[in-house]
Structure 1
């Protein structure tokens, strides 16, 4: 029944910004169902059962029904293959660990041809899920085998390769919840939060405020201890040694038991605890010297108690996790490798991926574990007696949340330690018996201060509540009222839009703001053109958004750009729509009439912030009718002072811009201000009065003083190759 050309994907497009489907990035697919157009799901025997057997998670897809099981209801009643593919692709992404839920499928009006869009957080993963989903659906329709396990494993690998790590993603999600935009700057975890001059940058648990000097201090454990002790923070007595002989000598001077660790190590690598014999100390020295970047090793007094990791963000303790020792119990039959796999590694939080807060243990490979077992007269291949308890790992495994228990004096010591080192985000490691008591009462001590601390132990604790560390980091960077946004202006249409964008950029610059303009003529930074040609695309727009000198940015867009890439920005302060021309040039996108075009262009209105303004051409009915779609205020512009929409706008106490007696007039309700005569414009600019009105309205919406607007209009020359200074 299924043929090789059925479910043919005619075109696959990644829409990276707001688009006709949604505010988020999606992949849009043009699908030719072929003969399957005549076979909805209820006419394909066994399709429902096979799909549900492979993808039981489809039961939670609400679909257009709007409730749990909604998609399955549609599947039973009969729906077409394009719609089914949408849900299959979404579910495959969910199975791969990239959670998403948005999808839509619509007919194009041509027999068997559909537009389908689905949300994806990464283009490569989305395209791979689409290819896998197509093959799964074809197999389900044709009652053929399909290796779902292998496909999901391949998708998971792509997610690990291309998506943000879980800690960075948590911070980004917290920023998104605050409506702070983000841009991924590399294929890794370097992310920009906010736009232009308001931006901040993060790299997992590091920020642009994280000092390289502070990181260097934190990596030097001996220097860190010296600085902490100078400020009265309790630290264990210790010394830096460069040989096994020195290590044993210092251990005796300090008093056994002792701890050995690399002076420049982190994450517990090369650390040996509770050493009481010369043999153990010498072996621990060799381990620590191998794990560090040099042969220098720290010997220090062993502190009785549990290891704790305190996450400090800014001047606040955000989360506290307690560690535990790991043991296995022998059965008299199996070796330690088997016991670790069965008693420790079965913990679902253990693994080798970035999303695992705890590592899986390999007793035959881990140097620290090998040394610990040697101290007990064993190896990884030893078989403990039945009931015998064997210590596998005495430190680490910090995954039990105790944030609510920390004593105020301990929290103060942790925040002071972070400040002394100079870190804005720090993981302060301390050892004590009871985190709810002052350190002085129990001889507790701070043992390390770490830069770029891991966050997963606080996001996925073994027990206790997960902590909102991402929200704390975002608030540390932005404060409660900072959105990370600069004023953005989008200009959409075909009538003089390049002129509008360029003129508006001139007016903003004249008002004393650093401004960037991306339009059909080029890319401009203040008065300087830095690129020539069409710069209405995504890449040019991103150049403005990542430029941290800019305080305002102006973007020209058009229907084709919206259909092929999406807008370059997520939200804007001002959105200008001039017209709906150009329908005939968009037949390849199945845009056939003015109603279709309005559905595309309205994207510009949909992204206006609630405190923003839509600037609409009152002389074109279909444009003016978009006023009801705007979440913010509306300002009309018109060549006719008596246009009914202008009259109604003024009666409602709102603003409008129009021409009366040959002059540009600003009206705010009943009040008017005559800006300047059209005759005062430069000749090339004066030939486009409607475009000038749109630019004036946008400038007014941005809060630029009328006197500055008038001055800019007098000097701006649309024919000049350079903007006036």
Structure 2
């Protein structure tokens, strides 16, 4: 089998809704060559080699709808393109991207297939696809393949390129079925994300939002200023002050009374924070380590108890976690460093990457832990006696959820602290012995208020209940069920798309909406041209959706855009299909039948929101058949008011647009309203028989569905000219 090969003829990234699914996918055109004559059950030992390489394929259901279904197909005989689909999905799963959509379909060329897989990230999925091909060929040709190394490489790439866990949980909450707020990633490899479209959008960057002020963030970084503001408002904070030298640090410690804490004045993530210091040597050593972590050093009273991180969102307590104490127990053989690796760092929840809730502890890079160990009379290479406990760190990782234990007074206090600093989302660090009791009685205190807090500790606590902190942030950004959407109109069909799109944009502008338009004649905001030339594509539409000055958007969508790029929006208010001439679309992207054209054009109808409408040409049987696919209302249009489809539609009390006695008529059921005489519409004088009347009706129907007043529709039609 060594002469057999699998070649990628083309790989397309469909960035948005497409003929396969609502989600972004990679569509690969795959040539399996001679393997077309060798289904899987004819290759000796292939099944055994494939399952040895990827035993987790046993979970794939495939067409049988049950675990093991896919491998059953492999045993019975299936083709490499189908197997490649499943192998790619499984490599994504093993690399940390579980689940996902997949398809493998024959093309009109023998041995050439379309393999489609859910794309979590273009680069990552392409790499999984190529790795999947290599693994599959190894199983076919009986050659070695290092699955572990491949998965490690893919997982590392996914970690670097996908959204981090804090940002990801917010996006997941926003796009959930009960919210359906659209999300746009604004940086290819960063955590800057736009939720919603246009003027109604909001932006997040990890756990910061476009409401997180620079002033508030600056205050939170200045620990001394934060303490001063909190103290002035009656919030309990530990006594302390800024110090300027090691000697000054000890003088401050004497004034305050030991034990004390030494920490950077503008540090974060607990770096350089030394606690429970008693001796002058400890304080001075801590000062030397803390001063390199920030621009100044604070010495303050040591507050007894456990460190807690309380998350405040929009002035309300959303979650609370208690910090851990990390320690090792000697066995009389291993060094402190070895015990840390064996007993602490072996915890699967620990790691350097952001998705790990706990940090790796390395004494070489952690002066706080080194000091803690040395205070107990040990060095990193010391060997504690069997049974001897050695404290490594007092706090720093928050592992236990205690949200339900927080005393109401304490919850109110941390909410007040966040408001004083001015943060919409804050991580408030609080130390106390019992979080279920008020702070006053136990001399508890707030030690820090942080902007951009990590969320993973609340999503994956070691003990206790995970908290829906992403949802809390989304509900704060989009209250009362707001979905962050602006009216979007998508226009597709065989002819007339540009004219219809421009007309609809004209109506919206007349209605006072700042309107973005991406069509084959250019990219526009209101009547200002931003870019000339063909802009009926994903990139131009994406620019409109990111524009926070845009109140409404109109997009022309040709079949090449749907097939080659996907659509830029997830759902739309209005979907217009002007007409269909199936033969016009044959020969592109392997489209060769009316049924395939139907599949392409229906994409626009599939995206209509339940509150929206599809505007369809009633003279076209194919488009009439699409009506049942629409989640929202259907408005038919046709020049002939006596067309049977229109008559039946009207008897059901539904809306339609047609021409009667030379006038454009908007009809709801049997009620009719004539809005304009066609003789007064400039478009009708252009190339009689060119379909302009149908274009007028389609645009009028879309405007009506958008709630635009009939008199504005009339004005738009009477003043619109093609330039």
Question: In the alignment, which residue of structure 2 is the partner of 1:184?
Answer: 185
Partner Cα distance (1:598, 1:397) in 2 = 56
Measure how far apart 1:365 and its partner are: 2.7
Structure-to-structure mapping, 1:520-669, within 5 angstroms: 520-581=520-581, 583-669=583-669
Is the contact made by 1:100 and 1:120 (CA closer than 8 Å) also made in structure 2?
Answer: no
Partner Cα distance (2:721, 2:242) in 1 = 71
Partner Cα distance (1:69, 1:22) in 2 = 24
Partner Cα distance (1:363, 1:684) in 2 = 81
Structure-to-structure mapping, 1:49-198, within 5 angstroms: 49-177=48-176, 178-186=179-187, 187-198=189-200
Partner Cα distance (1:585, 1:492) in 2 = 12
Runs of at least 5 residues in structure 1 that lack an aligned partner in the other structure: 721-725
Partner Cα distance (1:324, 1:154) in 2 = 32
Question: In the alignment, which residue of structure 2 is the partner of 1:407?
Answer: 407
Is the contact made by 1:337 and 1:364 (CA closer than 8 Å) also made in structure 2?
Answer: no
CA offsets, 1:422-463, max 9 Å, x none?
A: 000000000001100111121111111001001111111111
Structure-to-structure mapping, 1:292-307, within 5 angstroms: 292=294, 294=295, 296-307=296-307
Query: For 1:706, which of 702, 706, 710 is the aligned residue?
Result: 710
Change (3 A) 1:45 1:683: closer
Q: Secondary structure of 1:350's match? A: coil
Measure how far apart 1:588 and its partner are: 4.1
Q: Secondary structure of 1:587's match? A: coil
Is the contact made by 1:43 and 1:78 (CA closer than 8 Å) also made in structure 2?
Answer: yes
Structure-to-structure mapping, 1:157-556, within 5 angstroms: 157-177=156-176, 178-186=179-187, 187-292=189-294, 294=295, 296-556=296-556
CA offsets, 1:399-419, max 9 Å, x none?
A: 111111111011011111000
Partner Cα distance (1:702, 1:339) in 2 = 67
Partner Cα distance (2:612, 2:68) in 1 = 39
Question: In the alignment, which residue of structure 1 is the partner of 2:10?
Answer: 11
Q: Secondary structure of 1:636's match? A: strand
Change (3 A) 1:345 1:372: same
Question: In the alignment, which residue of structure 2 is the partner of 1:723?
Answer: none
Q: Secondary structure of 1:368's match? A: helix
CA offsets, 1:5-63, max 9 Å, x none?
A: x2221111110011010000000011112111122122222222222222122122121
Taking only aligned residues, the RMSD between alpha carbons, in angstroms, comes to: 1.2
Runs of at least 5 residues in structure 2 that lack an aligned partner in the other structure: none
Provide TM-score, normalisation by structure 2. Answer: 0.98
Q: Secondary structure of 1:311's match? A: strand
Measure how far apart 1:682 and its partner are: 1.6
Q: Secondary structure of 1:380's match? A: coil
Partner Cα distance (1:367, 1:678) in 2 = 82
Change (3 A) 1:685 1:366: farther
Q: Secondary structure of 1:131's match? A: helix
Is the contact made by 1:417 and 1:449 (CA closer than 8 Å) also made in structure 2?
Answer: yes
Is the contact made by 2:522 and 2:532 (CA closer than 8 Å) also made in structure 1?
Answer: yes
Partner Cα distance (1:550, 1:79) in 2 = 50
Q: Secondary structure of 1:599's match? A: helix
CA offsets, 1:546-604, max 9 Å, x none?
A: 01111110000111111100111110000000122364554241110211111111100
Q: Secondary structure of 1:358's match? A: coil
Question: In the alignment, which residue of structure 2 is the partner of 1:40?
Answer: 39
CA offsets, 1:158-193, max 9 Å, x none?
A: 112211111111111111102110100012000000
Is the contact made by 1:82 and 1:114 (CA closer than 8 Å) also made in structure 2?
Answer: yes
Is the contact made by 1:684 and 1:717 (CA closer than 8 Å) also made in structure 2?
Answer: no
Is the contact made by 2:319 and 2:458 (CA closer than 8 Å) also made in structure 1?
Answer: yes
Runs ≥4 residues deviating over 6 A: none
Q: Secondary structure of 1:560's match? A: helix
Partner Cα distance (2:293, 2:530) in 1 = 49
Is the contact made by 1:561 and 1:567 (CA closer than 8 Å) also made in structure 2?
Answer: yes
Change (3 A) 1:502 1:584: closer
CA offsets, 1:489-537, max 9 Å, x none?
A: 0000131110100111011100111111100100111111111111011
* Match status 1:691 vs 2:690: no
CA offsets, 1:441-490, max 9 Å, x none?
A: 21111111001001111111111111111111100100131011011000
Measure how far apart 1:376 and its partner are: 2.3
Measure how far apart 1:385 and its partner are: 1.6
Q: Secondary structure of 1:448's match? A: strand
Partner Cα distance (1:550, 1:70) in 2 = 48
Partner Cα distance (1:566, 1:703) in 2 = 28
Partner Cα distance (1:497, 1:303) in 2 = 69
Is the contact made by 1:583 and 1:591 (CA closer than 8 Å) also made in structure 2?
Answer: no
Partner Cα distance (2:577, 2:458) in 1 = 47
Is the contact made by 1:495 and 1:691 (CA closer than 8 Å) also made in structure 2?
Answer: no
Q: Secondary structure of 1:553's match? A: strand
Q: Secondary structure of 1:646's match? A: helix
Is the contact made by 2:186 and 2:194 (CA closer than 8 Å) also made in structure 1?
Answer: yes
Measure how far apart 1:109 and its partner are: 3.4
Is the contact made by 2:684 and 2:693 (CA closer than 8 Å) also made in structure 1?
Answer: no
Change (3 A) 1:506 1:588: closer
Comparing 61-70 with 419-428, which one deviates more in the overlay? 61-70
Is the contact made by 2:186 and 2:192 (CA closer than 8 Å) also made in structure 1?
Answer: yes
Change (3 A) 1:626 1:683: closer
Partner Cα distance (1:515, 1:706) in 2 = 19
Is the contact made by 2:582 and 2:594 (CA closer than 8 Å) also made in structure 1?
Answer: no
Measure how far apart 1:684 and its partner are: 6.5
Is the contact made by 1:685 and 1:717 (CA closer than 8 Å) also made in structure 2?
Answer: no
Partner Cα distance (1:588, 1:682) in 2 = 35
Measure how far apart 1:87 and its partner are: 0.2
Q: Secondary structure of 2:615's match? A: strand
CA offsets, 1:61-93, max 9 Å, x none?
A: 121222222212212222111110000000001
Question: In the alignment, which residue of structure 1 is the partner of 2:24?
Answer: 25
CA offsets, 1:358-410, max 9 Å, x none?
A: 11111233221122222223221111122211111112121111111111011
Is the contact made by 1:580 and 1:594 (CA closer than 8 Å) also made in structure 2?
Answer: no
Is the contact made by 2:683 and 2:720 (CA closer than 8 Å) also made in structure 1?
Answer: no
